[in-house]
Structure 1
Amino acid sequence: MRKAPLLVLALGCLAPLPLAALEVRFHPADTVYSHEVDAGRGLSTVVLQNVALVQREGGAVTVESLEIDVRAGGQTVQMQAVPTAALDASAQQMSALEAAGVLKLYDFHFQTSRSLGEGIKMAPSRTLAAGTGLLVGGRALMLAGPADEIAVIARGKDAAGRPVEAQGTLQVRVHKSPNEYRFPLAGTSYVGAAPSLHSHHRWAVPQEFALDLVALGGEGRTHKGNGETLEDFYAYGRDVLAVGDGEVVEAVGDAVETRDRLRQPGESAEAFLQRTVAEQNKLLAQGLRAPLGNYVILRHAGGEFSQYVHLKQGSVRVKAGDTVRRGQVIGQLGQSGNSTEPHLHFQVTDGPDPLYSRGLPVVFQNVAVEGLDLEGPIPLQTGWVVTAKP
């Protein structure tokens, strides 16, 4: 009888550990859109914006590898292994940002609330305890041919050394809009930023396929002189046109413009960047939409929304509820909000929220690319000079 407690203890030591419940999650979920780079060579790019490895319950699991497989017709045609050093760095960085409150403040950018899910905290390392996760953001792939699926496979071990594996998949899609859009500016424009991988737009969900549009002078610059005033910029005050028929969902036109946000003569790039970040934080303190400045959002057929941002103060000509026609003037290009020089920030999304909707690829029916034998509905690239045909 005295041996019974020892038997119970022994049996307790042999009880299995709770199984790991590792998951691979995505935001945006289900689908990733490709951006055509070179149709003749069959080249396109995709970006996995947010890949989250989440351990919901059970024992801890240590992630040992993360593999991204591109598949076509059920066969793997391309594979990318994410270095463990990158996983370590991401865990350390994101957990530090969470502790500092940055992820909550900038959730519209990182969107961790949607990729991790409610109640999940950032793990400080590749070892994920129950209720923690590891976020891997911005994994870019160049596709050299057709692809229909991307699989992300996480492998690791639990505390007992047992292998753990989780997999998630995304469908690769070429977006086909039900609408025929026309360029939002007349004449010739310079595409300062597009969905190219070296553009800052590509790495944020709402503006993944957004455009920054300016104008160039004869000397190839965006402004005359030192660019000390807003009027020095060639694009400032140009009419902004509705890209398609639609209804005005939202319109803001009273945000203040200032030339103080321009780079000042003699100001170093580093000093300008520091000042820009400080000004951005001041705007965010006024509200999450303050960095947009003056803007118009239109609803189009098929659940698509066009958004026109940083418009000139006092130039917005429409209000919520108005019906607009393609080519109608809705405002003027300006310098309001988080803008370092006058430009039009334009994007098409799957919802009206400029911060939490998903960006959609967009092409225009009436553009020709200067210096290239390209025109019509083609994806635009950073650095192109384009002319809108009447």
Structure 2
Amino acid sequence: MQINTIPIDFIINMALETGGKIVSNFLLHGLKLKNDSGKNVILKDINFELYASDILVKQVTYQGKSLANSIKEFAENSAWLGKGFGAKLFLGEEGFWNPECYTNSIEMEPNQETGIFNEYFIIVYDKVIDLLVIKVNYLKCGKEYIQQLKVPLVQYKNKNQYIFPLKGNISTCGNYNTLPEHRQHYSMEFAFDMAQYNAEQKLCYKENMCEEDYIVYGKDILAIADGEVVDCYHSFNMTTSWDWNERKLLIDKYGLAAQCGNYIVLKHANEEYSFYGHMVKDSLTVKNGDRVKQGQVIGKVGHTGLSNCPHLHFQLMDGPDFMAARGLPCSFSNIRDVAGNKLSLIQEENIIVHAE
């Protein structure tokens, strides 16, 4: 039995200490099981074992009806994960799964495969969860076998010091604790959006608001650190439809800009890359190959691409390709909460931070 995962090497655990306990929070984007034995096999169960310092803390098991239903549902609903824009956006690559080889039952013929897409884990324990062990039990020719794969969990630390990309009092949303939002996408796992309220703490404060009415619209976007512009788009002029069939036509024509609007990718030291999206058309002050300094204005907050209102989409990555790079958490050196307490990571949903 072949076991593959996305990510392939390690998973980032957003562990947070609270109330004397540690909350481990991590995501397995994809699990693929493929029968590479040359014989029919019958799946018995799939186990996720969670360890902290070699102590088994919790086991999550798919077996019986839950396993059969999961396999059937995956076969019926996950063909889109095989290739195309969706596969790249959610998994960071095409071809991880082959829909032509999906099985719809626990009995797998040679070369058939199945999988689990976006398995979330939130575990409260005395210590940090540092290892995920995936064990697959199956029958082949009447004999029981166990195949396993160990995936380390790491607490990622940024390699550079970053400042917040906007100044003032900024509302943040869509962070990693909002499971159905950015996090389900490979490069966007730790992305979040930034907007701004008016004096009455309202985002929308009158009917039929145009984009210029939003407080954040046109606000300067700052480079979070010294770096080089390795990718950008400046001339996309529309807000695209949430209807996939309509947006797909624009993606085929304009590429990533139809999803993210006008954008910039900066390469920083130590192979960390920042991404800024939905910018005002022609507001970019840089072009490919330019060097920038920390705090330099690189564009303005807009409402282009797939956007429900003017805002800045921000994320940190381990590579320059928005569709293939792994998302990384990003710590900031210059933000505080509403009480004036110093913050680093954006770890709560819908909070307001002040950036100096």
TM-score by length of 1: 0.83
What do you get for the CA RMSD once the two structures are aligned? 2.4
**Residue pair 1:254, 1:314 contacting (<8 A) in 2 also:** yes
Give deviations 1:219-245, integer Å, cap 9, x for gaps.
333233125311122211111111111
- Counterpart of 1:187? 168
Contact 1:54 1:116 in 2 (8 A): no
CA gap 1:163/1:147 in 2 versus in 1, 3 angstroms:
same
Change (3 A) 1:119 1:112: farther
Residue equivalent to 1:79? 59
Residue number in structure 1 paired with 2:130: 148
Determine helix, strand or coil for the equivalent of 1:95. helix
Contact 2:44/2:63 (CA < 8 Å) preserved in 1? Answer: no
2:112 is equivalent to residue 132 of structure 1: yes
> Looking at CA atoms only, which structure, 1 or 2, has the larger radius of gyration?
1
Report if aligned partners of 2:174, 2:193 keep a CA contact under 8 Å in 1.
yes
Which structure has more helix as a fraction of its residues?
1
Tell me the residue number matched to 1:14: none
- 1:304 is aligned to 272
Q: Pick the aligned partner of 2:206 from 207, 215, 225.
A: 225
Deviation at 1:73, TM superposition (A): 2.2
CA distance 1:83–1:295, shift in 2 (3 Å): farther
Structure 1 residues 56 and 226, CA, compared in 2 at 3 Å: closer, same or farther? farther
The corresponding residue for 1:116 is: 96
Gaps of 5+ in 2: none
SS of residue matched to 1:42: strand
Structure 2 distance, partners of 1:139, 1:207, is: 16
- 1:26 and 2:5 are equivalent in the alignment: yes
Q: Which residue of 1 aligns with 2:24?
A: 44
> For residues 90 and 113 of structure 1, what CA distance do their matches in structure 2 show?
23
Query: Given the superposition, is the C-alpha separation of residues 154 and 287 from structure 1 closer, same or farther in structure 2, using an over 3 Å criterion?
Result: farther
Amino acid corresponding to residue 148 of structure 1 in structure 2: D
Q: Which amino acid aligns with 2:105?
A: S
**Greater Cα offset, 275-284 or 300-309:** 275-284
Amino acid in structure 2 at the alignment position of 1:333: V
1:336 to 304, 326, 331: 304
Q: Relative to 1, partners in 2 of residues 1:233 and 1:82: Cα closer, same or farther, differing over 3 Å?
A: farther
Letter matched to residue 384 of structure 1: I
Q: Identical aligned pairs, as a percentage?
A: 26
Single out whichever of 232-241 and 78-87 deviates more from structure 2: 78-87
Q: Match of 1:67?
A: 47
CA 102–359 in structure 1, closer or farther in 2 if over 3 Å, else same: closer
Aligned residue pairs, count:
351
Distance 1:199 1:234 in 2: 27
How far apart, in 2, do the equivalents of 1:37 and 1:146 lie?
9
Q: Deviations over 1:320-378 (max 9, x none)?
A: 1111011111111111111111111111111100011100111111111224x642323
Structural mapping, 1:169-248, within 5 Å: 169-248=150-229
**AA at the equivalent of 2:38:** G
Q: 1:161 aligns with which of 133, 137, 142?
A: 142
Q: 1:38 to 1:233 in 2, by over 3 A?
A: farther
Deviation at residue 102 of structure 1 after TM alignment: 6.3
The answer to whether the 8 A contact 1:23-1:167 is kept is: no
Q: Find 2:251's aligned residue among 284, 294, 304.
A: 284
Distance 1:326 1:88 in 2: 53
State the Cα deviation string for residues 180-234 of structure 1 (Å, max 9, x = none): 1111110011112111143511212110011111111233332331253111222
Change (3 A) 1:166 1:233: same
Following the alignment from structure 1 to structure 2, what is the Cα–Cα distance between the partners of residues 111 and 184? 27
Q: CA deviation at 1:34?
A: 1.2
- 226 and 253 in structure 1: CA distance in 2 versus 1, 3 angstrom threshold: same
* TM-score, with length taken from structure 2: 0.90
1:35 is matched by which residue type in structure 2?
A: M
CA contact (8 A) 1:61 1:164 kept: no
